[in-house]
Amino acid sequence: MTIERLDDRATKVRYFNRFYTDKIGVLHEHLLDSAFSLTELRILYELAHRPTLTAADLARELSLNPGYLSRVISGFEKNGLLERARSETDGRVAQLHLTELGRATYAPLDEASQREVAAMLERLSLPEQQQLVDAMRQIESLLGQRDSSYLLRDPRPGDMGWVVHRHGVLYAQDYGWNVDFEALVADIVAKYIRDFDSSAERCWIAEKDGKVVGSVFVVRHDETTAKLRLLYVEPSARGMGIGRRLVQECLRFAKFAGYQRMLLWTNSVLTGARDIYAKEGFEKIAEDAHHSFGKDLIGETWARDLRILSAPAG
């Protein structure tokens, strides 16, 4: 699979930026047929929804030049849209408030903006609308300050099919593996469901914001050995420690269940997963070259002694 250069990806992001700004009309001199620019409307929006803002707050949160912001605020004051009031907690600080005229001026613009976006969404089917909103949420998560909260839970109906689906999609996307890998995952999951033994086997589903973002399985290899299988984390949730936490849960469960050792099989190209395994005390004990999933690969068997669960490295 060909990996794009950073410059190629940057060009695609810039193309999307041009496409989207044209769609929502932010390049127009005045938005919503009003006398206001995009930045001026954003300032009005913040003031309408947050009554205790100061000029310093606006400059910091909107990344605006203080001199430019001061001119905008002065213009709003001159036109009777805004007033200043001393903070009750700090007399040195002036808080900004929209006047009644300011609120009356902003309200129809807010409603017009809502109608424009609703009209754009109405051209899409309901599933397409949800797909668009989900994509925007993912962009926000990737580019903004990422919330690190998530939960691990038992699987629910539908989760197993999702695990098979996402393995097929992600490994094709990231490594160019063909449908043979998805078939392997489906076989592993089907066997887990059919032969499940709650005293010796377990699956964890990682969930964030109501969506599945990862999973892992512990299954019986033999009476004394557990096997870790199908560790995966969604790209949008990587870097949050979810993969390592899933492996740690596997180790704790396996020791509690009475296993003495844990095995896993992976491939040399899966560098992120291999790094987690090494940090959690696994050691590579064998490797073999094979042609699978449409690729020439180096398979690896890793093992971890569970009789002493020492503190993980790193």
> pLDDT tens for residues 95-111?
888 999 999 998 888 88
**235/185: higher pLDDT:** 185
Structure-block tokens of residue 3: 């990996």
pTM (2 d.p.): 0.58
User: How would residue 1 be classed by pLDDT, with cut points 50, 70 and 90?
Assistant: very low
The per-residue pLDDT for 30 is: 53
**22/275: higher pLDDT:** 275
> pLDDT tens for residues 14-29?
888 888 777 766 555 5
- Give the distance from CA 296 to its chain's centroid: 31
Task: Select from 3.40.630.30, 3.40.50.2300, 3.40.50.300, 3.40.190.10 the CATH code of 151-305.
Answer: 3.40.630.30
pLDDT, mean of residues 133-154: 76
Break the chain into its structural domains and give their ranges: 6-123, 151-305
Is the pLDDT score of 124 beyond 80?
yes
The sign of the CA dihedral 69, 73, 78, 80 is: positive
CATH 2.40.30.170 fits 6-123, yes or no: no
